[in-house]
Every structure is written in C-alpha cells, then in structure tokens.
C-alpha cells in the first residue's frame, strides 16, 4: 500500500481540516493512505451459534440479581 508523507505548516490546513486554536505546533506531519474498499457481508447469526455456551440462563440471571440486593 502506498502512502504520502508530508510535513506542512498548520496555517495551510486551516481551510481543509479543523485545527483547534490552542494547537501548539506550527508544523504537522500528514500521512495520506488510500481508502480500501470494504466488503460488506450480510449478518449471519448462525456464525455465532454456541459462542457463549451459557446454560441455565434464568438461574444465572436470578443469582446476579440476588447479588445486587445484598
């Protein structure tokens, strides 16, 4: 992946990006990377089946609630 690296004065960036007034540096380093396409896959809940392996959920919830009341 290619990148562009450049040192530039902050006053030249004022119209491009928001720079806070209290920014203490007069020069900054800018690194530019190309945006890579992101492949969006549809959500498949079956992929996550069995991940937690919780059993007796009602009993566990009741035990947690009882801990809060102590």
CA proximity to 26, closest of 8, 45, 46, 39 = 8
Tell me the pLDDT tens digit for each residue of 6-32: 999 988 888 888 888 787 788 899 999
What is the C-alpha R_g of the chain?
26
pTM above 0.85, yes or no: no
Angle at 34 between CA 28 and CA 36, to 5 degrees: 140
Tell me the pLDDT tens digit for each residue of 25-50: 888 999 999 998 888 889 888 877 77
- pLDDT value of position 23: 79
């Amino acid at each position: 992946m290619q990148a562009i690296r450049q040192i530039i004065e902050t006053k030249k960036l004022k119209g491009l990006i928001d720079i806070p007034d209290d920014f203490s540096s007069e020069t900054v380093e800018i690194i530019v990377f190309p945006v890579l396409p992101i492949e969006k896959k549809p959500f498949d809940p079956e992929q996550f089946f069995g991940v937690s392996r919780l059993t007796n959920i009602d009993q566990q919830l009741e035990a947690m609630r009882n801990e809060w009341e102590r």
